[in-house]
Chain A
Amino acid sequence: MSKKIITLHVNGKDREVAVDERESLYETLRNELRLTSIKKGCEVGECGACSVLLNGKCVDSCIYLTVWAQGKDIVTVEGLKDETNGDITDVQKEFIKQAAVQCGFCTPGFILKAVEIVGANKPYTRDEIKELITGNLCRCTGYMNIVTAIEHAIKHNMDKLGIPYEVAPSTTSFDIPDAEKEKMLKDVLAMQNNDVTKA
């Protein structure tokens, strides 16, 4: 089957790609555009590892055809940045601070879902957050820290909007010392800038 050239709006840029109409969005983004933050997990829309933001809403890119995404705004973790200073977003910082990452396979999916949740500008409770992330699976089962990270990210956003919001008291038994957290954050930021040697 011949390929056809279509334009996809990915991470704020128009990208021309040659696609086979049988391709899933997952395959095009990962194989053609090399956006490797997207992971292939279950391939049947249960695990959420392949989540991408399509017009601001998370969809499973493994069961979404590429041709359908024409004219829609696609965002992956590679395209996330804080508009004010070009830094990583609050959501990503909180994932690092709360150690909401274990093996890391589910993380890009969770981060995009968290961006959608925070972007709704609503003061979700812990239980509501749990409900909202049911489409993403973490097989390390590190859900506690993920929910806490999303809660803190919502808190940052609510502070900006001037809406009162209380983060539920931590129920995790383990807590990383602040100095350690700062070092971790620095390491990750260095990696983000491809400055791995200095880290």
Chain B
Amino acid sequence: MTNQIAAQNSATQSPREVAVRASHVTMDFGGVLAVNDASFELEKGRFLTILGPSGSGKTTLLRMIAGFQKQTAGEITINGKPVDAAPPHRRSIGMVFQKLALFPHMTAAENVAFPLKMRRFNPRQIAGRVDQFLDLVKLGGYGNRRINELSGGQQQRVAIARALVFEPDLLLLDEPLAALDVKLREEMQLEFRRIQHELGVTTINVTHDQREALVVSDNIIVMDGGRIQQQAEPVELYRAPENPFVAGFLGLSSFVEGTATADGNMQVGDLVVQGEPADDFAAGTKVLAAIRAEQIRLAGTREALGNCDMKLEGRVSDTIFEGERQMYVVEVGALSGATFRVYHHDPDSFGLFHVGDTVALGWNRRDLKIFSPAA
């Protein structure tokens, strides 16, 4: 049954068809721009995550797409039609809420049947469809349970079934995994991914969890301060952040300030640090370089580093054991005392260096991104 739905969806969907388009969407809460001139496109059947810290405007953007709030400027279209005049119940959007918002006075099956009743589905088909979707979320046989008789993970699944049962054009996820413990969260991330693949439903997910964004999404938008900072595919986003915010928000980066040189590198004191310019900047302007903790190599001597474009000496100022890896904080005198955070993933060498040790750091030119800090 589920495969049929997937087949229908893939049949109706031609490649590169845009499902959601936001053009210059702005939300002005009396002078505070919660969302500032946000524009993006999402193709049909794709899984988009809007990633950002709290207060970045990601939830406001989602609520405007759902129709719970009306933007003060700009336009949102779904499948080519502007939806701004339509109230939420006239939009074909399924939503999973942060606190799930399951109806406590109904059973699991009644919750899943509710959208079908409200959307005037043929009453004779409702029961079969409810069963089909409870099976899809692996809750077959749990239909008669009351909501408070289900575990947190099972409630999540009911909420997903309720959001998807009427085959909406769009599925919205408002941080539904935020309250779960780590193990269950990771399990549910993969479930979201599986179900989304199985049904092929266009999905927008909102989260502050960068790992979740990278795991589940086809496409990621990073937001901060109400503005879209970057939209890219996960690997691309991780590999080529466009500004220091994205570099700092995804993964763990160390930053070094310096001055731009004519050939696009960065000068700190007498030392020229080779890196990859991420924007255009004039020679002599102030710039900010970022490098990720796992892209720095660490060894006892320069020779032991092997091939690296850049090699420096530093002093270990802190060591933090994180279980699957060891993090070293290294202070580099040659870069006017800039500190680098370095991950060491080899279990055999945990505890190899101690605070106060002199170590050698190395990295490759393309891994150090140079930004103009104003961006």
The judgment on whether A and B are partners is no
